[in-house]
Structure 1
Amino acid sequence: MAGSTAMTISTTLLLFLVLPAAISAVPADLNKDFIDTNCKTTLYPDICYTSIIAYAGDIEVSPAKLARVAVDHSFNSIRSIALYVLNNSGKFNNNNDKTTVGVLKDCNKNFEDAVLQVQRSNREIRYLDFSVSKEALLFKISNVQTWLSAALTNQETCATELANIKSELHDKVVNSKKFVSIALALVNSYAKAAQAN
């Protein structure tokens, strides 16, 4: 009898230790699968997945939360490049070449616009009010889509101009453009999901 009591206690303890881990593993896997599936709809699925997977617990399986994280991440990326340009602008034109000066000036303006557009997107998606009508929600999402698309165009213009200079700045702009592209793709997916509901 004492043996069966010990066995029951051992089994109960084992269930208390193993069962919560097994239960919590299921949602985490679902979250990762959700992120993986959505990232595969972007132009840069590997970058998307590796940059967003750390937020799987926050995202759960919500297209809205996934879009928010992607826009926030793209804003952090583009802001980081803007600071880099600001702190290193003299480094990119040591010989005072007029063509390079013009390209850097144009690129700086395009990039400033892109930063503002992604910042607007980030603010808009962060404070979406889900209690408003479907039409109002879709209008706000379309604002985010428009601003991200414009930011992508500005970044593309800058990257094209910088391609002739062959600087490390070009590579950084191209990299930040990938994050804005990912954010736009995931916002587009969110718009489809919101439209369907």
Structure 2
Amino acid sequence: MFKASSSLTFLSSLLFISAIADTPSSFIRSSCSTTTYPSICVESLSSYASSIQQNPHQLVQTALSLSLNTTLSTKSFVSKLNKFRGLKNRENQALHDCLEEIGESVDRLSRSIKELKLCVKSKGQDFQWHISNVETWVSSAITDENTCTDGFAGKALNGRIKSSIRTRMLRVAQVTSNALSLINHYASKG
């Protein structure tokens, strides 16, 4: 009788553990483990677990949308900085160039989201074509983001503006890099 009770308890524990392993949160954690910044990935996507569920397409769609929203927020921030008075000539130029690069990044991420929607109805070669476009545009968005940060290189631009830009652009680069990792994983399954 003790053995049956122990076996039943053990079996119940296994069922509970497997039920936990199949939750949207565990799906997000597992998917994010393949990204460059897994803790940021989990932190940024966990609040969307109920809409993501365990759907790889929805996970990628959400990650891309998060990247776009973060980039748009940063674009707005840089635009406000660009209106400050008393900036050095080089700061003005770096902010102007950065704003242009972020605008390109926003455009590429927007196009990626639209293209990703076409993947749902596609199979085989068509799927590969659409997902390849998404990968290319997101990768280009990362390059744009890095180019913005590079514009603030050198000691002449040290200060609060450079520090603020770098902090924001780091976050943009991290969520975009994570989105690209998730896209690459999704592409390999398609």
TM tier relative to shorter chain: 0.7 to 0.9
Aligned residues with identical type, % of pairs = 30
**Structure 1 length as normaliser, TM-score?**
0.77
Decide which of 45, 54, 61 is 2:38's aligned counterpart.
45
How far did 1:150 drift? 0.3
From the superposition, tell whether residues 95 and 88 of structure 1 become closer, same or farther in structure 2 (CA, over 3 Å).
closer
Question: Which residue in the other structure is 1:193 paired with?
Answer: 189
What letter matches 2:181 in structure 1?
A
Question: Which residue in the other structure is 2:71 paired with?
Answer: 78
**Structure 2 length as normaliser, TM-score?**
0.80
Give 5+ residue unaligned stretches, structure 1. 1-21
The yes-or-no answer on 1:170 pairing with 2:161 is: no
User: Following the alignment from structure 1 to structure 2, what is the Cα–Cα distance between the partners of residues 140 and 110?
Assistant: 24
The yes-or-no answer on 1:95 pairing with 2:86 is: yes
Give per-residue Cα distances to partners, 1:58-84, cap 9 Å, x unaligned: 222222111111001101110111112
Decide which of 127, 138, 142 is 1:137's aligned counterpart.
127
From the superposition, tell whether residues 179 and 29 of structure 1 become closer, same or farther in structure 2 (CA, over 3 Å).
same
Question: Which residue in the other structure is 2:12 paired with?
Answer: none
Question: Which residue in the other structure is 1:154 paired with?
Answer: 144
From the superposition, tell whether residues 80 and 138 of structure 1 become closer, same or farther in structure 2 (CA, over 3 Å).
same
User: Following the alignment from structure 1 to structure 2, what is the Cα–Cα distance between the partners of residues 90 and 142?
Assistant: 38
The yes-or-no answer on 1:69 pairing with 2:62 is: yes
The yes-or-no answer on 1:54 pairing with 2:47 is: yes
User: Following the alignment from structure 2 to structure 1, what is the Cα–Cα distance between the partners of residues 129 and 60?
Assistant: 15
- Structure with greater Cα Rg: 1
Which range moves more in the overlay, 106-115 or 156-165? 156-165
**Cα RMSD over matched residues?**
2.1
Which range moves more in the overlay, 114-123 or 56-65? 56-65
SS state of the match for residue 90, structure 1?
coil
User: Which stretches of structure 1, 4 residues or longer, exceed 6 Å deviation after superposition?
Assistant: none
